[in-house]
């Protein structure tokens, strides 16, 4: 009961805050509001969408496939992908804003943030390009492309933050494809992420982190 009450109170607070601040947002015109939203995204994801290393790694959005971005934002809203922060962020975006945002980020091309361990980049490259058939690890390049630029719903991986890739691959099954939704595309990655060991994930993430 107590917890419920508290939650209710918090929800009320959030709603009050939201309604108070919605006015603030609405005061600004459409274009301005969009630009404010872009800045908002970039506050965490880097001023050129290159990603940012905070307590949690904020993934690179620059050059990302619009379809993938859209799908992920929808996944946050539908709780297929669990991320309380991004849930809040995503559910206030209108479809038009969302489309404009994904297009905006797709067109950015900053150099990778880098900052990954370099000693296993070779192994990472092998896994990416050829997979490890004996370990049942498919070649990433088959889907993500030889330059890791992605395709439609398949995300760009090139230049992605090392800690983000590591985290994503490590906790794939716990973060994505949640809520028993059947047609979530993330399922395709479950086996691969399961088969990759920590060293392989690290190598792969390091290779991708430097990829332009």
CA 9 to CA 132: how far, in whole Å?
A: 52
Residues contacting 147, CB < 8 A, separation 6+: 158, 211
69 near another protein (CB under 8 A) = no
The answer to whether 61 and 41 have CB atoms below 8 angstroms apart is: yes
- The region of 54-62, 63-71, 173-181, 199-207 touching another protein under the rule CB under 8 A is 54-62
187 touches another protein by CB under 8 A: yes
Residue 92 within binding range of another protein, rule CB under 8 A: yes
Count of CB atoms within 10 A of residue 149's CB? 17
Under the binding rule (CB under 8 A), the answer on residue 8 touching another protein is no
Cα dihedral: 211, 172, 61, 71 (round 10):
130
52 binds another protein (CB under 8 A): yes
CA dihedral of 90, 186, 151, 39, whole degrees rounded to 10:
20
Which DSSP string do the residues of 162-186 spell out, in sequence order? HHHHHHHHHTHHHHSS-TT-TT-TT
30 belongs to the binding site for another protein (CB under 8 A): no
The nearest distance, CB 210 to another protein, in angstroms, is 19
**Contact with another protein (CB under 8 A): which of 1, 4, 5, 84?**
84
The SS3 call for residue 58 is strand
- Token representation of residue 76: 């946050």
Of 47 and 199, which CB lies nearer to another protein in the complex structure?
A: 47
Q: Rule CB under 8 A: which of 142-181 touch another protein? A: 142-146, 151-152, 154
Residues that bind another protein (CB under 8 A): 9-10, 13-14, 17-18, 21-22, 24-25, 36-37, 39-40, 42-44, 47, 52-56, 58, 84-85, 88-89, 91-92, 130-131, 133-134, 136-139, 141-146, 151-152, 154, 187-189, 191-192, 195
């Amino acid at each position: 009961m107590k917890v419920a009450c508290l939650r209710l109170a918090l929800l009320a607070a959030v709603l009050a805050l939201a309604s108070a601040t919605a006015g603030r947002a609405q005061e600004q015109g459409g274009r301005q509001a969009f630009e404010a939203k872009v800045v908002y995204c970039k506050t965490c994801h880097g001023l050129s969408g290159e990603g940012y290393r905070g307590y949690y790694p904020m993934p690179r959005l620059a050059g990302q496939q619009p379809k993938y971005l859209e799908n992920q934002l929808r996944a946050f809203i539908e709780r297929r992908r669990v991320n309380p922060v991004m849930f809040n962020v995503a559910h206030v975006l209108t479809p038009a804003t969302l489309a404009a945002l994904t297009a905006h980020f797709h067109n950015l091309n900053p150099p990778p943030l880098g900052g990954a361990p370099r000693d296993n980049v070779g192994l990472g490259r092998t896994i990416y390009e050829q997979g490890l058939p004996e370990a049942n690890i498919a070649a990433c390049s088959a889907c993500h492309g030889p330059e890791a630029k992605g395709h439609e719903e398949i995300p760009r991986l090139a230049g992605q933050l090392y800690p983000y890739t590591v985290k994503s691959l490590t906790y794939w099954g716990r973060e994505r494809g949640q809520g028993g939704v059947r047609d979530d595309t993330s399922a395709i990655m479950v086996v691969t992420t399961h088969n990759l060991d920590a060293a392989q994930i690290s190598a792969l993430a390091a290779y991708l982190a430097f990829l332009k």
